Amino acid sequence: MDTFARDRGALVTALLALAACTSGDGGGTPGGSQGPDPVVLDFPIAYVKHPVPEMGMQADARQVLEFREGGDLFVRDRASPSSAEISVTGEITGGLGDVRDVEPSYDGTKFVFAMREPLIEGADEEDQPTWNIWEFDVPGRALRRVIPSDIIAEEGHDVAPHYLPDGRIVFASTRQRQSRAILLDEGKPQFEAQDEDRREPAFVLHVMDADGSDIHQISFNQSHDLEPAVLDDGRIVFSRWDNAGSQSEMNLYAMRPDGSDLELLYGAQSHMTGTDGSEVHFLDPRPMANGELLVRAQPFSAEDSGGQLLGIDTVNYVEDTQANLANSGVLSGPAQKLATPNEVLTTPGPSPGGRYSSAFPLRDGTGRLLVSWNQCRLLDGERIIPCTEDLLEAGTLPAAPPLYGIWMYDPRDETQLPVVTPTEGWVYTDAVALQTLTPPPVLPDRVAGLDFEAELATEGVGILDIRSVYDFDGVDVAPAGIAALADPALTTAAERPARFLRIEKAVSLPDEDVRDFTGTAFGVTAAFGMREILGYVMVEPDGSVRAKLPANVPFAVTVLDANGRRIGPRHNNWLQVRPGEELRCNGCHDPGNGLSHGRSDLFDAINDGATTTGQPFPNSNPALFADFGETMAQVRMRISCQTDCAALTPRLDIVFDDVWTDPVAANRAPDPSFAYRYADLQTPAPTSADCTTGWRAGCRAAIHYESHIHPLWSKPRVTLAADGVTVLADDTCTTCHAGAAAAAGLELTDGASAAEPEHFNAYRELLATDDGQPDPVMFAGRADDSVRFFTVFAPGGTHAGRLTAAELKLVSEWLDLGAQYFNDPFAAPLD
């Protein structure tokens, strides 16, 4: 949206007038004293006050652990400049702690907030006080830490609390309760996993009872999940830092309070909607009485840590110009609109209409907002002067230090009036009002044995159900259509593009105090992080998939061809299932078309499934009889689960068996079976033997170059004569690819690379250009692009048959994952 095009109207006139009379002593601006109370609310308010940091306020929204010494919480019995200011936390902090993220209860008697007590001079970070959740009872003037135990309270940093309708508290935390338990299952020590930029521990969402008990993790992102609030339908809305691969953006997500039904709510394709098309991210979401979501839109690193306020119609839109299915072709947007009419810039430099650091919507029928607002001022030498159009157009004066106060914006007459008068050198923010509100409906946690099969929770798994991988945003992209691919009489398995689905897991990364591993462990690029393989499942002829997968881990899915190589775009959003949860997807997504698909109300499913009940699919195995509307995967798994559910269980091997072709009806033989098994390798396998014979939720395949790929080059590949002694041919890779006379200039022997001593020379020669190779032989991130390597091993190629099918599959999956040198920080050498 173009903020310059907005009419500032009466609000701007009011703001400019107020800028001349509220700058405080020594501000250097003209004006007189404040008159009678311009706004009075007969309920208490709370806010945070802290000094302006010496280094300014340009904090990064991705750095949550920021500590601003001197922050404290204050309350006033009324929202009035004349109401007495009462310190809530001063006796504990002594003015040396910090406070953030204030949230009121629905009954208007309490609020929760995050506080960090004063840092200990000279102490290491692990010995410093953590951010904790505190609660203040306003009528009783009682302050308590929600988690009473010092040991439990200090297990991690806890911020951004919000009351749930049932009285529990949802909050963001680095304690990562369930993720740490998964680490133990993986044979690793428990630690706070770092965000994908490795800047600080990842904050993810947890829920606890009002007394601080029953703390459990509900979100499983690899980077931050922040600022939860509760929508009017009872779901949690929050800002998620999607930071996998090449993307880095904060989008709005929603889920039930038990962590199920996670989905994108808004914003993945709407980031270039700031001033002049600048990039913004969506922070601090709060539902408003009109059904819109109030958010603060700003760059990651924003001027004065502020941005513009938006009202977003997330009920009818998933993006600024993309409506949901019910409104497709009816509503064209924009979904976003400025919540205030003043000209707030999201680009660097002074902003004519100031900037906002927080906003709280009053639910009293007025549409008013309690905001923290920094008015536009300029620094002329040592003088602070108001912004004027001429001075802003000249662009010669910098912005003055921020002057955030608490204001009341009223949309009815577009006025903004002071509630807490700004004071030079201080920042007032996080203002909330304590009102009595009807809470949203309670969405109870699902119960094993009642809402889902208890066996799934015992196994620690959920279920992934995809109707068709050929369904791209409601368009059938299958050659000749899904119906033709599903009919064995019309299409053979070899003619179907999608054959398997790989389930991948992000590897949690520790900080340097836990494991200070070298950065070269990622290989030629760190863009893909480290990844493990959770398993493989077949894609059924109609493109459907139904399979178990581990609960409580961040995972992504990859569609593969018959060679086990990725086809289509990489999946760069971490999904999750809670124990027993069934995650249903229509299909896949083309990120290049500018549309979002990660919400359940956006597209109709293309795969309608079976058209009858009790009959097989056309020309298919009559033993696999369908119920109306079932996909092939649903049919197969339903029948399999009448015995052992084997068809629902992934494998760490790629195995194909044609269970669908009816030789009589299709008038042809079933497609031949094949398998790429780790057990067929004569070099070390990247997983344990028990995981290749029986998959369980804790099974992983972690591929390291030195351990699993490099041994392929020196594995003996000798053909002997009938006497068992005479060598007829020696196709060992290093026989030809060694020394100065290495074939094709490709050196595959042992030894450190001159360009990167932490890597074997062979690794660099295959994937980099710094060891004499004009072009890489392989490409990290996509096996299908590594044609120089795979072409010579294909039928008719110069090296056909020299690597086995299992070996080629191993190389393919390693490349698709990102060609990492190590996929386990505890296997990598120390820095």
Query: What tens digit of pLDDT does each residue of 162-194 get?
Result: 999 999 999 999 999 999 999 998 999 999 999
**pLDDT band with cut points at 50, 70 and 90 for residue 742:** confident
Q: What is the pLDDT of residues 270-282, one digit of tens each?
A: 999 999 999 999 9
**pLDDT band with cut points at 50, 70 and 90 for residue 741:** confident
Could you give the CA distance from residue 821 to residue 525 in angstroms, rounded to a whole number?
10
CB 788 within 8 A of CB 775: yes
**pLDDT band with cut points at 50, 70 and 90 for residue 32:** very low
Could you give the CA distance from residue 572 to residue 246 in angstroms, rounded to a whole number?
8
For residue 536, the cross-strand partners are: 502, 651
CB 586 within 8 A of CB 542: no
Of 190, 312, 303, nearest in space to 251 by CA: 312
Burial (0-12, 13-18, 19+ Cβ within 10 Å), 728: exposed
The pLDDT, as a whole number, for residue 727 is 86
CB 248 within 8 A of CB 271: no
Q: Of all helices (H) and strands (E), which one includes residue 116?
A: strand 110-116
The pLDDT, as a whole number, for residue 43 is 84
The pLDDT, as a whole number, for residue 18 is 38
Q: What is the pLDDT of residues 369-401, one digit of tens each?
A: 999 999 999 999 999 999 999 999 999 999 999
The pLDDT, as a whole number, for residue 572 is 85
Answer yes or no: is pLDDT of 660 > 90. yes
Of 219, 226, 215, nearest in space to 255 by CA: 219
Residue 90's φ and ψ, nearest 5 degrees, are -60, -35
What secondary structure does DSSP assign to 400-434, as a single string?
Answer: PPP-EEEEEEETTTTEEEEEE---TTEEEEEEEE-
CB 504 within 8 A of CB 464: no
Mean predicted confidence (pLDDT) in 68-76: 95
> Where are the extended beta strands (E) located within 485-641?
500-506, 531-538, 545-550, 555-560, 582-585, 615-616, 625-626
Q: Tally the C-alpha atoms within 13 A of residue 455's C-alpha that lie toward its C-beta.
A: 6
The pLDDT, as a whole number, for residue 416 is 93
Bridge-based pairing state of the strands 582-585 and 475-476: unpaired
The pLDDT, as a whole number, for residue 726 is 87
Answer yes or no: is pLDDT of 638 > 90. yes
**pLDDT band with cut points at 50, 70 and 90 for residue 772:** low
Answer yes or no: is pLDDT of 17 > 50. no
Out of 16-25, 356-365, 513-522, 721-730, which region has the weakest mean confidence (pLDDT)? 16-25
Is the Cα dihedral 223, 229, 234, 239 positive or negative?
Answer: negative
The pLDDT, as a whole number, for residue 622 is 96
**pLDDT band with cut points at 50, 70 and 90 for residue 246:** confident
Q: What is the 3-state secondary structure (H, E, C) of 194-229?
A: ECCCCCCECCEEEEECCCCCCCEECCCCCCCEEEEE
Q: Of all helices (H) and strands (E), which one includes residue 733?
A: helix 733-736
Out of 10-24, 511-525, 526-540, 666-680, which region has the weakest mean confidence (pLDDT)? 10-24
Question: What are 152's two structure tokens?
Answer: 């439990």
Cβ atoms within 10 Å of 413's Cβ, excluding its own:
9
Architecture of domain 454-509+527-693 in this structure:
Sandwich (2.60)
Q: What is the dihedral of CA 814, 815, 818, 824, to 10 degrees?
A: 20
The pLDDT, as a whole number, for residue 724 is 85
**pLDDT band with cut points at 50, 70 and 90 for residue 319:** very high
Could you give the CA distance from residue 147 to residue 133 in angstroms, rounded to a whole number?
7
Answer yes or no: is pLDDT of 633 > 90. yes
Answer yes or no: is pLDDT of 775 > 90. no
C-alpha distance from residue 684 to each of 242, 676, 814 (Å): 35, 15, 14
For residue 593, give the DSSP letter: G
Q: What is the pLDDT of residues 343-364, one digit of tens each?
A: 999 999 999 999 999 999 999 9
What secondary structure does DSSP assign to 307-369, as a single string?
Answer: BEEEEE-TTTEEETTEE-GGGTTT-----EEESS-S----SSS--TT-EEEEEEE--SSS--E
Structure-model confidence comparison of residues 505 and 28, the more confident one: 505
Residue 352's φ and ψ, nearest 5 degrees, are -55, -40
Q: What is the pLDDT of residues 613-628, one digit of tens each?
A: 999 999 999 999 999 9
* Stated length of the chain: 831
Question: What are 195's two structure tokens?
Answer: 């965000």
Q: What is the pLDDT of residues 35-54, one digit of tens each?
A: 344 455 678 999 999 999 87
Structure-model confidence comparison of residues 589 and 539, the more confident one: 539
The pLDDT, as a whole number, for residue 315 is 98
- Tokens 């995809």 sit on residue: 466
For residue 193, give the DSSP letter: P
Answer yes or no: is pLDDT of 8 > 50. no
The pLDDT, as a whole number, for residue 56 is 65
CB 574 within 8 A of CB 264: no
C-alpha distance from residue 166 to each of 257, 315, 445, 654, 710 (Å): 10, 24, 11, 46, 56
The pLDDT, as a whole number, for residue 41 is 66
Secondary structure class of 249 (helix, strand, coil)? strand
Share of the chain above pLDDT 70, in %: 94
The pLDDT, as a whole number, for residue 456 is 96
What's the mean per-residue pLDDT of the chain?
92
Is the Cα dihedral 192, 195, 198, 200 positive or negative?
Answer: negative
Secondary structure class of 817 (helix, strand, coil)? helix
Could you give the CA distance from residue 583 to residue 598 in angstroms, rounded to a whole number?
12
For residue 481, give the DSSP letter: -
The pLDDT, as a whole number, for residue 773 is 60
Answer yes or no: is pLDDT of 16 > 60. no
Share of the chain above pLDDT 90, in %: 86
Q: What is the pLDDT of residues 710-726, one digit of tens each?
A: 999 999 999 988 988 88
Secondary structure class of 625 (helix, strand, coil)? strand
Could you give the CA distance from residue 430 to residue 372 in angstroms, rounded to a whole number?
7
Residue 588's φ and ψ, nearest 5 degrees, are -115, -170
**pLDDT band with cut points at 50, 70 and 90 for residue 744:** confident
Secondary structure class of 713 (helix, strand, coil)? helix
Number of H helices, E strands in the chain: 15, 42
C-alpha distance from residue 443 to each of 72, 122, 457, 690 (Å): 34, 46, 20, 40
For residue 829, give the DSSP letter: P
Computed on alpha carbons and rounded to an integer, the radius of gyration of the chain in Å comes to 30
Secondary structure class of 377 (helix, strand, coil)? strand
Out of 67-76, 145-154, 322-331, 765-774, which region has the weakest mean confidence (pLDDT)? 765-774
Q: Tally the C-alpha atoms within 13 A of residue 221's C-alpha that lie toward its C-beta.
A: 30
Q: What is the 3-state secondary structure (H, E, C) of 118-176?
A: CCCCCCCHHHCCCEEEEEEECCCCEEEECCCCHHHHCCCCEEEEEECCCCCEEEEECCC
Answer yes or no: is pLDDT of 217 > 80. yes
Domain ranges in the chain are: 3-29+38-433, 454-509+527-693, 705-817
Q: What is the dihedral of CA 80, 81, 82, 85, to 10 degrees?
A: 90
- Tokens 């760059």 sit on residue: 299
What secondary structure does DSSP assign to 86-102, as a single string?
Answer: EESSHHHHTT-SEEEEE
Is the Cα dihedral 170, 171, 177, 179 positive or negative?
Answer: positive
Could you give the CA distance from residue 306 to residue 694 in angstroms, rounded to a whole number?
53
Residue 599's φ and ψ, nearest 5 degrees, are -135, 145
CATH superfamily of 3-29+38-433: TolB, C-terminal domain (2.120.10.30)
Q: What is the pLDDT of residues 128-160, one digit of tens each?
A: 999 999 999 999 999 999 999 999 999 999 999
The pLDDT, as a whole number, for residue 630 is 98
Could you give the CA distance from residue 293 to residue 229 in angstroms, rounded to a whole number?
10
What secondary structure does DSSP assign to 26-68, as a single string?
Answer: T---------S-S---SS-EEEEEEEPPTT-S--BTT-TT---
